[in-house]
Amino acid sequence: MTRLRRLCLTVLLLLVGSGRLARAQDTPAIDIRMTAQSYPPLVAVRNALTDREHDELLKNGFPVRMHLRAEIWTVGRYFDDIRGRAEWDVIVQYNVVERSYEVARLVGDRVMPLGSYVRFADARAASELAYLPALPTPRRGQKGYVLVQADIQALDVSDLDEVERWLRGEGAPAVRGKRSPASAITRGVRTLASRILGAETRRLEARTPTMVF
């Protein structure tokens, strides 16, 4: 079966069998653990992959991508100022040959494997491992807070092929915003699947209370 036919079949099966994404058991949220004495913060996204359909999508060749951005802001007299930013990605991919879920974190050009798992629940737990972003420390006595945003895509519509190449060690263009080399009709099928399944990008946001460093 060709890749295009498999994609079309995936769309039809999920449309008939699911209709819409199942309700998550727990609400997705960003967990930020930080005090003035424990900086920079530990950041993790919780309950983002709790839907049954995520497992089905992964097994049909659609990776899950979470892009996170953490910012340190200081409080000014009139305006708050951003003092630094850190960004990273978490990718979850299903390996059909090995029948396993592969999880990795990408920071800049560095790939940090988070393990290969037989069970989806274990892969989900690995995707929720906390990360310590490299943020600059405000000067002593400064008031500030950390703001974190996470963009979650159950279907990486434009970068599917490039994500697969990246996970095979052939470079990392998938998280750089480059276009997929797939044909226009194949991209159209993926876009249709994304819209039918409600898998548009979901954005989460959280911030710490203002504190004195």
CA 26 to chain centroid, in Å, comes to 17
| Contact in structure between 44 and 127 (CB atoms under 8 Å) | no
Question: pLDDT value at position 17?
Answer: 46
What's the domain count of the chain? 1
Q: What residue numbers bound the domain in which 169 lies?
A: 3-212
Report the SS3 class of residue 10: helix
Question: pLDDT value at position 13?
Answer: 47
Question: Could you say which DSSP state residue 105 is in?
Answer: E
Question: pLDDT value at position 135?
Answer: 95
Q: Quickly list DSSP for 113-143.
A: EEEEESSHHHHHHHHT--B----PPPPTT-E
Q: How many helices (H) and strands (E) would you count in the chain?
A: 5, 9
pLDDT digit of tens for each residue in the chain (213 aa)? 555 555 554 544 444 444 444 444 578 999 999 987 889 999 999 998 876 777 887 887 778 889 999 999 999 888 999 999 999 999 998 988 889 999 999 998 899 999 999 999 999 999 999 999 999 999 999 999 999 999 988 654 445 555 555 555 655 444 444 444 444 444 444 544 544 444 557 889 999 999 999
Pairing status of strand 211-212 against strand 143-153: antiparallel
Question: pLDDT value at position 24?
Answer: 41
Question: pLDDT value at position 31?
Answer: 96
pTM for this model (two decimals): 0.71
